[in-house]
Chains A and B, each alone.
Chain A
Amino acid sequence: MTEKYRRVSGDAVEYEVFARKTRGEPLHQVGSVVAPDDDLAAAYARATYDEERWIEMTIVRKDHVIALWSPGE
Chain B
Amino acid sequence: MSISGVVLSIADNKQMLGLRYAEWATRAPSLEADIAAAAMGLDDLGHSRVLYGCLEPLGDDPRGPERESDPASLSALPYFDEPWSEWAQFVAANAILDTAFTVMIEACVNGNVEVLQHRLRKMLSEERYHFLHGRSWLRSGIEKGPLDEAWRQALEWFGPPDGDAAALHEEGKLAMGPSELKSRLEERLETKAPPMELSWKGWDGKRRRTKPGAIDARTFGMLRGLEEKRFAPAAKAQD
One of B36, B38, B130, B140 near A7 (C-beta < 8 A)? B140
Nearest 3 pairs of A and B residues by beta carbon:
A47-B39, A43-B133, A5-B29
Residue numbers in B under 8 Å from A37 (CB-CB): 136
Beyond A2-B87, A43-B132, whether A8 also contacts B29 by CB under 8 A is yes
Q: Indicate if A67 sits at the interface (CB-CB under 8 A).
A: no
Instruction: Say yes or no: B29 contacts A43, CB within 8 Å.
Output: no
25 contacts between A and B (CB under 8 A): A1-B85, A1-B86, A1-B87, A2-B87, A5-B140, A8-B29, A8-B32, A36-B140, A39-B136, A40-B32, A40-B132, A42-B132, A43-B130, A44-B32, A44-B36, A46-B129, A47-B32, A47-B38, A47-B39, A47-B40, A47-B129, A48-B32, A48-B35, A48-B36, A48-B39
A43 vs B30: C-alpha distance when bound (angstroms): 13
Chain B residues touching A, range: 20 to 34
A23 to B36, CA, bound (A): 27
- A40-B136 in contact (CB<8A): yes
* A35 sits at the interface (CB 8 A): yes
A33 within 8 A of B: yes
How distant is B206 from chain A, measured CB to nearest CB, in Å?
34
Chain B residues with a Cβ under 8 A of chain A: 27-30, 32-33, 35-36, 38-40, 85-87, 129-130, 132-133, 135-137, 140
The number of chain A residues touching the other chain, given as a range, is: 20 to 34
CB of B129 within 8 A of CB of A42, answer: yes
Annotate A12-51 by CB proximity to B: 1 below 8 A, 0 otherwise: 1000000000000000000001111101101110111010
Please, which residues of chain A bring their CB within 8 A of the CB of B87? 1-2, 5
